[in-house]
Homo-oligomer: A and B are copies of this chain.
C-alpha cells in the first residue's frame, strides 16, 4: 500500500503554497480534491473521443457512449444497485432531490400529507420539500435533534405513528456536524409506517460503503464532486417500481420515445429522466474516481479518517474556550467548533492567512444553527489525504489566532 506522501502526490492541488505556507485543505465536506487520474480521463476524453452520445453511429460517438455507460455500471456496483438503469445522472445532489420532489412528490403528495425532514438537513434537502409541500398543501415536519447532534428517534417514531407521512427525507451524514444517522433503522421505521424514504448521501459516499439494496433504500442521492469526481455530476438511485411510476422531470431530447404534436411518449429508464445532452465528459471522468478508490487498500480510508477524527477531536479540545458542536458517537471526520469570544468568520480569515482552508458559516444548514442558537461554526472536514501533522498545525495556528483575536 502506498504511503500517505505518495497518496498526496496523486492530488496535484495539494502541492501548493497559500499566503506563503503550504496549503492545508480541510474543506473536504464542501468539495473533495481530484486525483490526477480524473484529470487525465477528462483530458483524454476531450482530446480523443469528444462526441455527443446515444444516437451517433460514428466511432467517436460510440466510444463516448460506451465510456459514459461504463460509469453508470461502476456506480451501480459502487451502490450495489440491482441494475444500472436505476442509476440516473443529474447535475448534483440538489438536482437529484428536486427531481424526486417534483416528480414523485408532485404525483403523490396531497393536501394534509406529511413530509418529514430532520433538523440536521442541508438546505438542499429542505427547500425542495417546502416548495412542493406549499404547492400541494402538504406539511413539512421536523425530526428534532438532541444536544449531541444525534437525531431524536423517539420523536421520529411518534411523527410516523399517524401513518400520514408520505415521505421521509434525511441525510446519511450531516455536512455541518458530521453525525452519521442510523439510516437502516430509520428506513425500516419509515417503511413500517407506509412512508417512502429518500437518503441524501452527499456526505457519506466519500467516507463509507454503501448498499442501497441491503438498506432497502427507496431513493439515494449524491454528488460526484464530493466523491473525488468532477463538478456538475449527480446521481439519483431509485427503486425500479418508483422510478417507473414517476412522471418525467425535464422534457427534451433523449428522454422521449416518440415526439409528435399530437402526443409524446417517454423513453425507458434511465433515459426518461435524462433530458438533453448530459454532462458527458464529467460522467466519463467520474469513472476514474472509482478506479482510484478501488486502488486503495480496502478499509484504509475509514481507518485513516477515523484516526484523523479522534486525533483532531482530542487536540482541538485542548484549546481554551473551544467547544465542539456535534458530539455524536458515530461521526465522519468532520469537526465543527466555536471558540468563546470569537466569531467563526474571524477564525476562518486568519487561518487562511496561515494557508489553512476551513469553512465557516452556517454550512447551508441554517435550521441546525437556529436549533443550537449559534451564528455558524468553524468546520474542519478531513479526507484520507490529510495528515496528523496538518492537524497539529491547525491547532498551533488556532492558538495563535485566538491570541490575536482576544
Contacts and interface: CB of A to CB of B under 8 A. Distances in A.
Contacts of A166: none
A223 B57 CA distance: 22
At the interface, is chain A mostly helix, strand, loop or mixed?
Answer: mixed
A131 interface: yes
A335 interface: no
A276 B33 contact: no
B352 A58 contact: yes
Contacts of A48: 12-13, 16
B95 A25 contact: no
Interface stretch (A79-87, A156-164, A362-370): A362-370
A321 interface: no
B47 A12 contact: yes
Interface stretch (A147-155, A229-237, A386-394): A229-237
A107 to B, nearest CB: 11
Given A57-B345, A91-B232, A259-B123, A51 B27 contact: yes
Interface in A226-276: 230-233, 248, 250-256, 258-261, 264, 275-276
Interface in A324-360: 345, 348-349, 351-352, 355-360
A232 B281 contact: yes
Interface in A1-59: 12-13, 16, 18-19, 23, 25, 27, 30-31, 33-34, 38-39, 42-43, 46-52, 55-59
B282 A231 contact: yes
B31 A50 contact: yes
Given A127-B252, A258-B366, 17 more contacts: A13-B46, A38-B46, A39-B46, A57-B348, A57-B352, A58-B351, A59-B352, A59-B357, A61-B357, A94-B251, A123-B251, A126-B264, A127-B251, A127-B256, A128-B250, A223-B277, A232-B278
